[in-house]
Chains A and B, each alone.
Chain A
Amino acid sequence: MGKFSKQSTVSAAFDMIFSQLRTMALVLKHTFTKADTVEYPEQKPYLAPRYRGRIVLTRDPDGEERCVACNLCAAACPVDCIALQQTVDDDGRKRADFFRINFSRCIFCGFCEEACPTYAIQLTPDIELAEYDRQNLVYEKEHLLINGVGKYHDYSFYRHSGIAVDINGERKAKGDAQQEKPPIDIKGLMP
């Protein structure tokens, strides 16, 4: 009652009654407003392109794997759901020997995507990850790898990096990469 001490008790009582009735009237008004519900299985909700859903491994525009198996994603992962092993191809390309994500552990935080130096690992707006068998939620590399560039259409790590590899069957030597200067001859005397 302390709150209403300036008013008389009667007018305070009427204020309280009016307040309750007003609340009820406001709620009753919602009989005629449209429901916000999205009826999910029939009607898909809008998911933004950068929605953090199922994780994929992307390829660069040349169709080669972007992932160099640097292990930064596995290190960044707070729930340790990523496991991988690096191998080096004959042409000098590094790639994952195996790449395994356990989606029953994954919390879709996106830290792996942030950590990835080659834009290889990306989260997609796909949320339908239900399985009857929990073991089916462990995705291997062949499940993760897609035939696309994901969110970054033109980016190709090996075209920028100073590593000697084959690109489209053509040898790219050190110093040939975009915006790359030729390697410094450390045995010479010139600056």
Chain B
Amino acid sequence: MISALVELNPLQLTFYSAALLAIVASLKVVTSKNTVHALLYLVVSLLAVAVCFYLMGAPFAAGLEVIVYAGAILVLFVFAIMMFGLGQDETLHAPSVDGSKVNQFSLWFGPFLLALLLLIELVYAISSGEIQARLTANTIDAKQVGILLYGPYVLAVEIASFLLLAGLIGGYHYAKPEGVGLDRKNNLGEHG
């Protein structure tokens, strides 16, 4: 087992540890009792997956993973949780103020370690010339992704965009206050 680890080159080692990180973080997502903490683990998991993408030679996908999923969608999740005050009914699981040192340390340690490992990996992957050299060998850059999306997969892209448009219109329909135009007419009728 250990000898197998030693034989791995730095690239593979980074990849597998990122993958492990993603799995551990995902497990914590479903086992964590605090909603916001679970979401934070989900962010870590998505970032780890992004690192995996990057190491597999798909930097564009990695970038979009972070921007779209970790950066936009999960922010909206957090936003929704804050809006609906879901923190209210989990005060039981919140860290106690006068809890023992050990307890606090264990609460701290998990997310801190995972995030730190990820940070180290990311810095290493970016700054290491060796990895950069290996990566450029078979990198799928944005241009290739674009050509594929608007070439063989154009139908899928169009279908997806229709779906999103439908979602957008649906969202607008639900968000619009009921009978905005009618109300104004009624008011005018009453007053004048």
In the complex, A touching B (Cβ < 8 A): no
Binding site for A on B (CB under 8 A): none
Binding site for B on A (CB under 8 A): none
